[in-house]
């Protein structure tokens, strides 16, 4: 309707005489000069008519071109922008998401860094335990109410089960808690994946960053020994749960004994680093066997479904996606390659194979603005038992990690030289590397587009428009590109509409900034931080999830996930820090944002 109205306005601006000029010119050219008028007069009239005709035709042509240009810009903004960049010559010396005019280098932004530090103060809980403690009246609210808990409830002010990073006093308090209060002899079932990435990863990172304080390594080794029994399955794939006291792996009955692909393949950074520190290869071999099983079970497209069977080591027919239960599988393929200083090509091969399949089957573009997003493949079984796959235009907030993964992969797996410059240049990357960089940047722009809400925060799940969705017929003002499914004015918001303090977008912003030194990524991160401060901060201390990102004032939920401190605020802190603070050339972050050092492996196994 907007385009048609624009068309009417454009053509209304053209004089009526102009629209008839061609017809009148043809008629006049056929007329014979009447008696009483000289030939020169007739010629002059003809010249005047021709001039008017030319002017009118030019106006008509320009108006038509203006309409076409506006129509194309409305329908296809991204391709036209890319064409313009090609015409201007930009890609010959710059990659998308980089610009000489916005390059600021990797110096710290002290004021913004200080703002993030102030937000972190009072939230220094040790993210490596399952205990609850109240003691010192001098402690800040979350620390006093939930020290040692895995989750904080900022409104009711208690914990239900974070490592510190403040000054020496806070560090010593946390260290004392680990030494005197943290016990791993827990007779209960804990998630193998979460315990590894949060607790084991946190202890190993604390060991390295503390100057190798043996307390943290001792605790890490004890914990890993308690976790090892989960690998005692016929295939070597781990079980989903571990009873720490009984040292016994436990199958997940809720998922019929299956384990999610992400959970099985996101233990490797932690166990491999522990093996390096202890010179015990059992940790390395157990974790690496999982990758060997996954590689042998490769599905033909190169994608991984979200569940595997620990009994036979095969993928189970289930959804294929980069969101929950699939996400960190793809993340750790690249990070295992990076962790061992690019010296294990098997992980590069697996990563390249997966990324190619993602481009072939999951990457799509929005129907109006051309936003790049990742879709999901959902299996459907016919009455005859045949399986078909339905492509669904759904993207979890979690998927935003993949933008930074692709950009980091482009400068490692997809690089022709090491290290690449900051920002990287097109000639430093392979064709695949340039493709992955471009997709990563475009996906990051999409993630920022989903922050275009009333609160400036993105929803848990976004759906993207497709031509067959029928929304234009059902709704008077249908969204152009993405929407929150089930959101209706006056109704209680669907779960998809929530923001639960997730870090994945700022994680990718950090990677993008460290690789480019481009100020746009800091600006985007600052906008997200201000939105969190405005809508999620609780006056009595802490931060809360919000129920609807498109509602102001925001309704808060009495829940603060530990990844706010461990990941979201840590990534924001590093985004505004200088490039020498935990540089990507020396560290790889586990999926809970615990930094682990890059090293050359001393242990070699058959798989490697």
How would you label 230-261 residue by residue, b for 16+ Cβ within 10 Å and e otherwise?
Answer: bbebebbbbbbbbbbeeeebbbbeeeeebbbb
Q: Look at 381 and 93; give whichever has higher pLDDT.
A: 381
pLDDT above 90: percentage of residues in the chain:
70
Residue in the block written with tokens 């792996």? 249
Question: For 205-258, how does the pLDDT look when each residue is reduced to its tens digit (9 = 90+)?
Answer: 999 999 999 999 999 999 999 999 999 999 999 999 999 999 999 999 999 999
Give the pLDDT confidence score for residue 137 in this predicted structure. Answer: 33
In angstroms, the CA 491 to CA 59 distance is 52
**263 in active site:** no
Locate 408 and state its tokens. Answer: 């980091």
In angstroms, the CA 219 to CA 202 distance is 11
Write out the DSSP string of 574-605.
Answer: HHTS-TTSS-TTTEEE-TT--EEE--------
H-type alpha helices, 310-396: 327-339, 345-361
**431 in active site:** no
Contacts of residue 481, defined as CB under 8 A and 6 or more positions apart, other chains included, come to 366, 367, 368, 369, 371, 449, 464, 465
Contact between 525 and 506 under an 8 Å Cβ cutoff? The reply is yes
Marked catalytic residue, from 131, 151, 194, 469: 194
User: What's the mean per-residue pLDDT of the chain?
Assistant: 85
Query: With bands split at pLDDT 50, 70 and 90, how would you rate the model's confidence at 13?
Result: very low
CB atoms within 10 A of CB 377: 17
Average pLDDT over every residue of 455-469: 95
Give the pLDDT confidence score for residue 480 in this predicted structure. Answer: 86
pLDDT above 70: percentage of residues in the chain:
78
Locate 102 and state its tokens. Answer: 């916005």
Marked catalytic residue, from 263, 327, 442, 507: 327
Write out the DSSP string of 259-318.
Answer: EEHHHHTSSHHHHHHHHHHHT-HHHHHHHHHHHHHHHHT--TTS---SEEETTTTEEES-
53 annotated among ligand-binding-site residues: no
In angstroms, the CA 81 to CA 199 distance is 46
Marked catalytic residue, from 270, 504, 561, 567: 504
**343 in active site:** no
**7 in active site:** no
Which of 293, 465, 313, 437 has its CA nearest to residue 375? 465
Task: Please determine, for residue 408, whether its predicted confidence score (pLDDT) is greater than 70.
Answer: yes
Question: For 464-519, how does the pLDDT look when each residue is reduced to its tens digit (9 = 90+)?
Answer: 999 888 887 776 677 889 999 988 877 889 999 999 999 999 999 999 999 999 99
151-153/158-159 β-pairing: antiparallel
Give the pLDDT confidence score for residue 477 in this predicted structure. Answer: 73
């Amino acid at each position: 309707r907007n385009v048609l109205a624009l068309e009417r306005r454009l053509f209304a601006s053209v004089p009526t005489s102009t629209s008839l000029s061609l017809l009148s010119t043809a008629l006049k050219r056929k007329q014979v000069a009447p008696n009483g008028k000289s030939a020169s007069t007739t010629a002059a009239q003809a010249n005047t008519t021709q001039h008017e005709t030319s002017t009118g035709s030019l106006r008509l042509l320009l108006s038509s071109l203006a309409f076409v240009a506006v129509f194309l810009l409305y329908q296809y903004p991204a391709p036209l922008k890319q064409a313009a960049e090609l015409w201007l010559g930009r890609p010959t010396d710059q990659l998308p998401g980089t610009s000489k005019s916005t390059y600021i280098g990797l110096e710290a932004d002290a004021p913004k860094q200080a703002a993030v530090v102030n937000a972190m103060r009072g939230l220094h809980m040790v993210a490596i335990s399952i205990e609850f403690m109240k003691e010192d009246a001098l402690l800040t609210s979350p620390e006093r109410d939930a020290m040692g808990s895995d989750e904080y409830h900022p409104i009711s002010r208690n914990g239900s089960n974070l490592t510190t990073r403040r000054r020496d006093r806070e560090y010593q308090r946390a260290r004392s808690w680990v030494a005197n209060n943290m016990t791993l002899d827990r007779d209960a079932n804990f998630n193998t994946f979460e315990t590894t990435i949060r607790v084991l990863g946190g202890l190993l990172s604390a060991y390295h960053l503390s100057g190798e304080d043996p307390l943290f390594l001792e605790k890490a080794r004890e914990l890993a020994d308690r976790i090892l029994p989960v690998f005692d399955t016929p295939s070597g794939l781990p079980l989903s749960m571990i009873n720490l006291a009984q040292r016994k792996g436990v199958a997940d009955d809720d998922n019929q004994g299956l384990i999610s692909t992400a959970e099985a393949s996101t233990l490797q950074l932690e166990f491999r680093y522990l093996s390096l520190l202890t010179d015990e290869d059992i940790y390395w071999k157990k974790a690496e066997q999982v990758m060997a099983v996954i590689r042998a079970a490769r599905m033909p497209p190169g994608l991984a479904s979200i569940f595997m069977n620990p009994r036979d080591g095969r993928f189970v027919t289930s959804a294929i996606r980069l969101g929950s239960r699939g996400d960190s599988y793809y993340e750790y393929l690249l990070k295992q390659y990076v962790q061992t200083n690019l010296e294990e090509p098997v992980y590069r091969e697996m990563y390249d194979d997966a990324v190619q399949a993602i481009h072939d089957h999951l990457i799509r573009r929005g129907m109006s603005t051309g936003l790049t997003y990742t879709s999901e493949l959902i299996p459907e079984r016919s009455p005859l038992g045949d399986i078909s796959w339905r492509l669904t235009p759904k993207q979890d907030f979690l998927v935003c990690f993949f933008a930074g993964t692709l950009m980091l992969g482009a400068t490692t797996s997809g690089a022709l030289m090491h290290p690449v410059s900051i920002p990287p240049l097109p000639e430093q990357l392979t064709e695949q590397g340039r493709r992955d960089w471009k997709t990563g940047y475009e996906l990051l722009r999409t993630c920022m587009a989903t922050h275009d809400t009333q609160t400036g925060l993105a929803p848990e799940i976004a759906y993207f428009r497709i031509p067959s969705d029928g929304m234009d017929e059902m709704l008077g003002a249908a969204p152009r590109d993405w929407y929150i499914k089930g959101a209706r004015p006056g109704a209680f918001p669907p779960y998809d509409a929530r923001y639960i303090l997730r870090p994945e977008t700022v994680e990718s912003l950090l990677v993008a900034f460290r690789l480019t030194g481009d100020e746009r990524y800091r600006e985007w991160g600052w906008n997200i931080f201000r939105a969190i401060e405005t809508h999620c901060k609780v006056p009595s201390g802490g931060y809360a999830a919000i129920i609807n990102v498109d509602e102001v004032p925001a309704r808060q939920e009495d829940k603060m996930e530990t990844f706010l401190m461990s990941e979201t605020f840590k990534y924001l802190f590093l985004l505004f820090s200088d490039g020498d603070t935990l540089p990507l050339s020396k560290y790889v972050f586990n999926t809970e944002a615990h930094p682990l050092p890059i090293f050359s492996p001393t242990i070699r196994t058959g798989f490697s």
